[in-house]
């Protein structure tokens, strides 16, 4: 059974277009994350949601808008795509919760390779 | 601030050992180690918590020096399957909540040859 899944796996699009990436986890976790991994493999957090509430919002262009319809899903919408947005985007989830000290790791989805032409 | 990993790359023959280090300038609550193979997602290896608790795979060991904000990952009797890029992710613990945020190092590329 897939724990964290993402669609699509590959996304090739033109500059200026708008695209979305979807993520779903079946681990029962309360917290989900979006990461961007660039061509140098630098893995950087973008956003995090806990139970549908935004809790981490790093310095990311406002063309990127995350949405969490429920705690098992976290989507990423990107407007007006630019060449520099080309990267692999990973979704992850963890048991982190503000109500108790849970120290567990994050589980990553397979990634979405976005190529902007 | 991003933790610093060393070395940047390691080349081994099967059966040899390796140590990968991760150093942060911030007080840490936990250190997480991942391995990523080409074209795949990072896979969890080990988590080390402030206070000494560890969770992870049996064949991989690691240490966490809380005072120095440093962690080391020990790979012994390496196998071909150990090849990949190793990342440490640090969770800062200077007070307040981290929201589970991990800041990743730049990665260490490990290559194991037959």
Structure tokens at A13: 């699009």
How big is the A-B interface in CB pairs under 8 Å?
59
In A, which residues are within 8 Å of B62 by CB distance?
none
Interface of A with B in 75-104 (CB under 8 A): 90, 94, 96, 98, 103-104
Q: Flag whether pLDDT at B4 surpasses 70.
A: yes
Which among A55, A90, A108 has the least Cβ separation from residue B99? A55
According to the model, what pLDDT value does residue A72 have? 95
Contact B88, B105 (CB under 8 A): yes
| Cβ distance of B101 and A45 shorter than 8 Å | yes
Could you report the per-residue pLDDT of A4-29, keeping only the tens digit for each? 999 999 999 999 999 999 999 999 99
Average pLDDT of every residue of chain B: 90
Structure tokens at B48: 């080390």
According to the model, what pLDDT value does residue A96 have? 82
Pick from A55, A72, A62: which is nearest to A109 by CA?
A: A72
Q: Flag whether pLDDT at B22 surpasses 90.
A: yes
Pick from A95, A16, A14, A7: which is nearest to A63 by CA?
A: A16
Name the CA radius of gyration of chain B, rounded. 14
According to the model, what pLDDT value does residue B95 have? 59
3-state secondary structure of B80: helix
Contact B30, B93 (CB under 8 A): yes
According to the model, what pLDDT value does residue B58 have? 66
Interface of A with B in 30-49 (CB under 8 A): 31, 33, 40-45, 48
According to the model, what pLDDT value does residue B43 have? 94
Query: d(Cα A34, Cα A61) in Å, to the nearest integer?
Result: 14
Q: B87 and chain A: CB distance < 8 Å anywhere?
A: yes
| Cβ distance of A108 and B42 shorter than 8 Å | yes
| Cβ distance of B32 and A105 shorter than 8 Å | yes
- Give chain B's end-to-end CA distance (angstroms, integer): 37
Q: Flag whether pLDDT at B53 surpasses 80.
A: no
Q: Flag whether pLDDT at B96 surpasses 90.
A: no
Strand order in the sheet with A73-78: A4-7, A19-25, A73-78, A64-70
| Cβ distance of B41 and A94 shorter than 8 Å | no
Mean of pLDDT values over B77-82: 93
Q: Angle at Cα B100 formed by Cα B76 and Cα B107, nearest 5°?
A: 40
Query: d(Cα A109, Cα A4) in Å, to the nearest integer?
Result: 5
According to the model, what pLDDT value does residue A99 have? 66
Task: Tell the burial category of A61 from Cβ atoms under 10 Å away from its Cβ (0-12, 13-18, 19+).
Answer: exposed
Determine the longest span between alpha carbons in chain B, in angstroms: 48
């Amino acid at each position: 059974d897939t724990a964290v899944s993402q669609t699509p796996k590959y996304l090739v699009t033109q500059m200026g277009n708008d695209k979305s990436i979807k993520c779903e986890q079946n681990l029962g976790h309360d917290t989900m994350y979006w990461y961007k991994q660039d061509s140098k493999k630098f893995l950087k957090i973008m956003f995090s949601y806990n139970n549908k509430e935004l809790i981490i919002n790093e310095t990311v262009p406002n063309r990127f808008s995350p949405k969490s319809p429920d705690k098992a899903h976290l989507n990423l919408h990107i407007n007006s795509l630019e060449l520099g947005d080309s990267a692999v985007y990973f979704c992850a989830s963890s048991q982190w919760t503000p109500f108790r000290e849970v120290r567990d790791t994050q589980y990553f989805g397979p990634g979405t390779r976005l190529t902007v032409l | 601030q991003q933790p610093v990993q060393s070395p940047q790359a390691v080349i081994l023959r099967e059966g040899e050992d390796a140590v990968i280090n991760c150093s942060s300038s911030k007080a840490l609550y936990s250190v997480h180690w991942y391995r990523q193979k080409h074209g795949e997602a990072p896979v969890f290896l080990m988590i080390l918590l402030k206070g000494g608790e560890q969770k992870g795979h049996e064949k991989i060991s690691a240490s966490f020096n809380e005072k120095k904000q440093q962690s080391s990952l020990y790979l012994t009797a390496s196998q071909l399957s150990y090849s990949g890029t190793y990342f440490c992710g640090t969770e800062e613990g200077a007070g307040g909540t981290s929201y589970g945020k991990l800041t990743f190092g730049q990665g260490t590329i490990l290559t194991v040859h037959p």
